[in-house]
A and B are shown apart, each in its own frame.
Chain A
């Protein structure tokens, strides 16, 4: 049986140490993984996925990610 209260306290301690740099790095890594997964599964990036990341009100893409990264991913997808 898990000690949920103790785990919650551990979670709060870890969360308080989460920095914006760490979060941004994780987001970049996660999006690369999601794009790669879709390319592997479907052979291309769907317009809807790109559109979701580019226009979603819930997602703010860091500038370096939205320009170079996406351009690279789109080129890779088109070449595939």
Chain B
């Protein structure tokens, strides 16, 4: 569920950012995801549900120390492209991704979907003033984990929602929320 608040008169969504626990202390800033696997381009990735922030830590963010930290941040909402709860937001997002792929093909080039999203971020979203994207994917009941997200496969009624934020200035009150989780 999305939690909202006003920060300095600006409507914000509460986001959770998971990182490996650090013996050197907590982070002052979120870490930008720059890997080729970043789904929607280079940016700061947040979960809107604490539950999924924990899952991310358990699965991917405790390899070195055995623990993970969850940070909290208030994300300005006014320039976020909402593909999850806005019909227009979803429809136009879908059209934009498809038309970009078609245009690239018309130029006799092929890119991976991750590359298309990185291109969109740099050549379109940012120049158009979009500060990030709210999106969701299908969760699953992972093998070997004590998690049941739905008992009716594949009806996952719980959306796995993330926000990618392109601009650091749109994230306020970034701070540690839960430390040294395992």
Residues on A lying within 8 angstroms of B by beta carbon are: 1-2, 4-5, 7-8, 10-12, 14-15, 18-20, 23-24, 26-27, 30, 33-34, 37-38, 41, 49, 56, 58-60
Contact = CB atoms under 8 A, between A and B. Distances in A.
B119 A26 contact: yes
A43 B110 CA distance: 29
Interface string B131-161: 0000000000000000000000000000000
B109 A23 contact: yes
B36 A34 contact: yes
Nearest to A12: B99
A58 B112 contact: yes
Interface residues of B, number: 34
B35 A15 contact: no
B92 A7 contact: yes
A62 to B, nearest CB: 9
21 contacts: A2-B78, A2-B79, A2-B80, A2-B81, A2-B82, A2-B89, A4-B81, A10-B128, A14-B127, A15-B100, A15-B103, A18-B103, A19-B107, A20-B108, A26-B122, A27-B109, A30-B118, A37-B34, A38-B35, A59-B110, A59-B111
Given A11-B99, A11-B128, 6 more contacts: A1-B78, A8-B95, A11-B96, A14-B128, A23-B119, A58-B111
B96 A8 contact: yes
A18 B111 CA distance: 15
